[in-house]
A and B are shown apart, each in its own frame.
Chain A
Amino acid sequence: MNYPLAISVYVGIMIAVLHGAWLVAALGGLFFSFRYGALALVPLAFLLDGYMGAFHGIPMMSIGATLWYALCELIRVRFKLL
């Protein structure tokens, strides 16, 4: 695992979400998911939802990240990618 790249992408996704650059965040998330796994994105989504106060309503990012993780894992198991 290329840690410097992984950390850079991870922090990049976080900053992109904070600046509202959703397309960049989505592309970064896609890259990170297939390169390093989508599990690490779940705590990030929780963190960002908490930071933005989304838990006072519906934490869409957390729900989305959880579902995305499940989908990625199912795809990985189904097609025996790893």
Chain B
Amino acid sequence: MKVRSPRKFKDQPIVRNVAIALILLVVGVAAPVVFSAAARFVLTPVHVFNQWLTESSDTFPSYIRERTALYEEIKNLKNELAIAGRSNITTERLYEENLRLRSLLHASTSPRIGAAVVARPDTLPYDLLQIDQGSEAGVTVGSPVYIGSDWVIGLVKSVAPKYAFVELLTTPGFSSTVYIAGANVIATMEGYGGGVARVRVPQGVPLQSGNLVHIPSIEPGIFGRVSHVENTPSQPEQFGYITPEIPIQSIFFVAVAPHVPITTDGELIKAHIEDLLIKNLSLGDTGTTTTATSTVANTTASTTATENQP
């Protein structure tokens, strides 16, 4: 029978080393401060090197840090790009669905007239554009003018055979009923001049920068986003300043929609706003404001009608 010698077992270095390690572990747990102080002392050069690498403004550590930061930025940008790509796909899907539903309802799609902007503020008074299409191309007074497919920027003010003038919605004195998504409120937007329009709403309405502004009397009719909110708590009203998505100086081509009807019926405008509410699912938590302001739609609808008449 094979018998293991106790002496041989004791002499094995593995057992000795593990035993020492275990004793040190017990001592370390019993007196952690001693171990920490000893480790800090031994690792002082490493700590100094580490500090130099992470905080020094010398060339080499700065290079390493900037490289790491750039990698992080690239990673974040790639993520954002992927998210934006997915959002774009969603938008395309919804657009196609919308077209399909419109075709099922036999809704007519109004043709647009493409026009180049030949004069803009600097050579013209502010908030006025001159386009190179006129009555010969079918442009009529009062036609809404778009950038892209949805963004309405103004109405045709006067027409000549070869050209036309477009008055922007930001012209001083111009007012229109708008529906502010997000805040879920109907208000009167008034032109402020300089490419800026303004809405005034009572205190307590959750008006925020970035809220989308719809013009419900024109379909499709998105004007822009609230870019700044001026809210003084001591005042009864707060102001939201709205700018179009594209600055006037960057507008080179527009689309005129001569056959888009400008709705003046209050009931139709209400129905359109309800439709917008249904489409925008994020507005579910602001339902009380709808009730409070729905009467405004009726009263301001007539304002829209008078303002939008050619």
Contacts and interface: CB of A to CB of B under 8 A. Distances in A.
A18 B25 contact: no
B197 to A, nearest CB: 52
Interface of B: 14, 17-18, 21-22, 24-25, 28-29, 32, 35-36, 38-40, 42-43, 46, 49-50
Interface of A: 14-15, 18-19, 39, 42, 46-51, 53, 55-56, 59, 62-63, 65-66, 69-70, 73-74, 77
Contacts of A77: 14
A69 B19 CA distance: 12
A69 B14 CA distance: 8
Contacts, number: 64
Given A50-B28, A55-B29, A70-B18, 13 more contacts: A14-B46, A19-B50, A46-B35, A47-B42, A51-B40, A55-B32, A62-B24, A65-B21, A66-B25, A69-B18, A73-B14, A74-B14, A77-B14
A53 B50 contact: no
A72 B22 CA distance: 17
Contacts of A56: 32, 36
Given A14-B46, A46-B24, A70 B36 contact: no
Given A70-B14, A73-B14, A74-B14, A49 B28 contact: yes
A42 B19 CA distance: 12
Contacts of A39: 17
B149 to A, nearest CB: 50
B36 A59 contact: no
Contact of A50 (B18, B22, B35, B46): B35
